């Protein structure tokens, strides 16, 4: 008995219980002296997803042929009648030239029509118009094309189904929706995102009931089961929206907040907070901005026009350049290809991105830091890590610093347009505030980007030095440039610093 008492007294949990619950923060030191992480942190899957940055949305399906945006679900399958075989390879090739790294194809919209031969419903290409319609299998051809082109791919599958007679019952979830997702997972274990729309409009055909059905989208779709099942087959597939691994940016106009935290209080924060996220939120939930490249709907419509390449470039700066990803909708037409006018604009967008954001002038600058963390056993945190092109190396300040200045100096005056910063997100999002100054003579300093809210950095921040995303022309003439980090949740880290 005495022995037992002794064991109990030595047991650490018991010791805590005796003293009252005193949790002592445990800081594990790394042999490399890396900064302690600021939680929450991204999963590997989320990190790789964030690195996709810019990709396309392809809204194509029954609505392309009916001219609608939301089909009711009672459309005859034979209305799906492509005038030529749909060519996902042309879609992806075009957006690759525009600087995009992948795409998401809509394979089932709210009307329930499936663009692959599913076993879950007859409302699919199996019963489409004879010929090209019936031969269509978008998931198969889209995944094949993406692999050939070395691009990332995934599918949009609408949880809301205005065709299904089972919608609203548990059988719809287990026998239709989850099985459709499982079928789609079979088109490739290398998918990077599955897109689950939040729309649950209510009214629809529903197998002839022509009624209104409401569900609680937070609980109805068995998301935890869905997420586990998809991840078993597609380990790197982020479940967007209903799936809970990335958040809607809160608007469809192609902009994220200048202050944009990757953290959020999932389940409590309103979607209207999507632009900004929440500092100190309990989960990692990075923002994705969905926007259209045309002046009409998500699906192709007669007479629509693409926006200009300049406008799309600005959208890029206001989404990717503010730490969100951009999924830009490019709608294929009735012949199953992107129309010539859209292709031209996308080519021009690719040229703008190439001309304005690829020649990195930081590569030929001397970079000094006001303070740098001491070298570890195998790792250095010197400013050279900012420009080495390696995503797993980074510059970091010492533990006691939440402020630091990075100064770039050139031998000759330079014309500068943008500063690009990336935090080392494996250690969490840290920077709260910074500013940028330039010097024409290397002695006296002037503020630049003064109309820009220079707060968070996150995955990527592109700061237009002239203070607006709306035009490019002038730039800033400088012999030196400095970035002053003014406040951070813990000592700041930066994985990349580039200047264009």
Contact status: 197 vs ligand FUL (CB under 6 A): yes
Q: Distance (Å, rounded) from C-alpha 90 to C-alpha 280?
A: 43
Question: Smallest distance from the beta carbon of 254 to ligand FUL, in angstroms?
Answer: 12
Contact 436, 481 (CB under 8 A): yes
Residue 406 token pair: 């990075």
Applying CB under 6 A, does 111 fall inside the site for ligand FUL? no
Phi, psi dihedral angles at 25 (to 5 degrees): -60, 130
From the list 199, 341, 355, 470, which residue makes contact with ligand FUL (rule: CB under 6 A)? 199
The minimum distance between CB 195 and ligand FUL, in angstroms, equals 8
Shortest Cβ 460–ligand FUL spacing (Å): 23
Is 242 a binding residue for ligand FUL by CB under 6 A? The answer is no
Angstrom distance (rounded) from CA 354 to CA 327 = 19
Nearest residue (CB) to ligand FUL, 196 versus 261: 196
Nearer to ligand FUL by C-beta: 195 or 313? 195
**Which residue, 114 or 367, has its beta carbon nearer to ligand FUL?**
114
Q: Is 221 in the site for ligand FUL (CB under 6 A)?
A: no
Name the residue nearer to ligand FUL (CB basis): 58 or 472. 58
Q: Are 153 and 105 in contact (CB under 8 A)?
A: yes
Strand duo 418-422 + 496-499: pairing: antiparallel
| Smallest separation (angstroms) from ligand FUL to the CB of 106 | 7
Q: Which is nearer to ligand FUL, 8 or 199 (CB)?
A: 199
Q: Which is nearer to ligand FUL, 198 or 224 (CB)?
A: 198
Residues ≥6 apart with Cβ < 8 Å to 380: 393
Which residue of the chain is nearest ligand FUL when measured via CB?
A: 199
Alpha-carbon span 269 to 277, nearest angstrom: 8
Q: Which residue in 464, 403, 399 sits closest to 431, CA to CA?
A: 403
* Interaction mask 295-324, ligand FUL, x per CB under 6 A: ---x--------------------------
CB-nearer residue toward ligand FUL: 191 or 402? 191
- 314: enclosing H helix or E strand: helix 309-319
Kindly state the smallest distance separating residue 344's Cβ from ligand FUL, in Å: 24
Distance CA 448, CA 479 (A): 14
Residue for token digits 């000592």? 491
| Binding residue count for ligand FUL, defined by CB under 6 A | 6
Q: Rounded to an integer, what is the distance from CA 396 to the centroid of its chain?
A: 25
Query: Which of 240/424 has CB closer to ligand FUL?
Result: 240
**Rounded to an integer, what distance in angstroms lies between the CA atom of residue 144 and that of residue 188?**
9
Give me the DSSP letters along 121-133: -SSBGGGSSTTHH
Q: Is 290 in the site for ligand FUL (CB under 6 A)?
A: yes
The rounded distance, in Å, linking the Cα atoms of 407 and 421 is 13
* 431-439/446-448 β-pairing: antiparallel
Beta strand pairing call for 283-284 and 263-264 = antiparallel
Segment holding 139, helix H or strand E:
helix 138-149
Binding mask 372-401 for ligand FUL (x = CB under 6 A): ------------------------------
Query: Residue 70 Cβ, how far from ligand FUL at the closest point, in Å?
Result: 6
Q: CA 384 from chain center: how many Å?
A: 28
Contacts (CB under 6 A) with ligand FUL, residues 156-175 = none
Q: Indicate whether 355 belongs to the interface with ligand FUL (CB under 6 A).
A: no
List residues binding ligand FUL (CB under 6 A): 69-70, 197, 199, 290, 298
């Amino acid at each position: 008995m005495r022995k037992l008492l002794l064991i109990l007294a030595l047991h650490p949990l018991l010791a805590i219980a005796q003293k009252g619950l005193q949790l002592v923060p445990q800081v594990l030191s790394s042999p490399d002296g890396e900064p302690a992480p600021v939680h929450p942190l991204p999963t590997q899957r989320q990190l790789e997803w964030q690195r996709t940055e810019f990709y396309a949305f392809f809204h194509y399906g029954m609505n392309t042929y009916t001219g609608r945006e939301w089909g009711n679900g009672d459309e005859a399958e034979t209305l799906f009648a492509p005038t030529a075989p749909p060519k996902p390879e042309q879609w992806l090739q075009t957006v690759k030239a525009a600087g995009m790294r992948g795409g998401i194809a809509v394979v089932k919209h709210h009307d329930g029509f499936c663009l692959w031969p599913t076993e879950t419903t007859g409302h699919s290409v199996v019963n489409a118009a004879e010929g090209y319609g019936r031969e269509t299998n978008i998931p198969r051809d889209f995944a094949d094309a993406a692999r050939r082109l070395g691009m990332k791919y995934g599918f949009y599958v609408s949880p809301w189904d205005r065709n299904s007679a089972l919608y609203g019952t548990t059988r719809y979830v287990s026998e239709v929706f989850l099985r459709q997702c499982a079928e789609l997972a079979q088109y490739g274990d290398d998918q990077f995102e599955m897109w689950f729309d939040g729309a649950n409009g209510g009214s629809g055909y529903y197998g002839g009931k022509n009624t209104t059905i409401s569900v609680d989208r937070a609980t109805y779709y068995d998301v935890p089961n869905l997420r586990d099942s998809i991840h078993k087959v597609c380990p790197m597939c982020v479940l967007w929206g209903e799936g809970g691994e990335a958040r809607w940016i809160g608007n469809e106009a192609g902009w994220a907040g200048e202050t944009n935290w990757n953290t959020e209080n999932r389940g409590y924060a309103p979607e209207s907070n999507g632009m900004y996220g929440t500092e100190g939120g309990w989960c990692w939930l990075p923002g994705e901005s969905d926007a259209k490249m045309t002046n009409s709907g998500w699906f192709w419509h007669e007479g629509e026009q693409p926006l200009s390449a300049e406008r799309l470039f600005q959208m890029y700066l206001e989404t990717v350049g503010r730490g969100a990803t951009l999924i830009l909708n490019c709608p294929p037409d009735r012949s199953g290809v992107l129309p010539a006018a859209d292709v031209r604009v996308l080519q021009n967008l690719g040229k703008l991105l190439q001309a304005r954001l690829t020649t990195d002038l930081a590569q030929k600058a001397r970079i000094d830091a006001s303070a740098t963390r001491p070298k570890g056993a195998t790792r250095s945190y010197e400013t050279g890590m900012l420009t080495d092109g390696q995503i797993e190396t980074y510059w970091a300040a010492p533990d006691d610093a939440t402020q630091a200045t990075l100064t770039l100096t050139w031998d000759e005056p330079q014309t500068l347009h943008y500063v690009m910063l990336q935090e080392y997100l494996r250690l969490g999002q840290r920077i709260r505030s910074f500013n940028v100054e330039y010097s024409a003579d290397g002695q006296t300093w002037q503020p630049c980007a003064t109309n820009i809210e220079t707060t968070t950095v996150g995955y990527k921040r592109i700061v237009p030095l002239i203070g607006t995303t709306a035009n490019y022309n002038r730039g800033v003439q400088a012999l030196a440039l400095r970035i002053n980090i003014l406040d951070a949740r813990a000592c700041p880290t930066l994985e990349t610093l580039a200047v264009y």
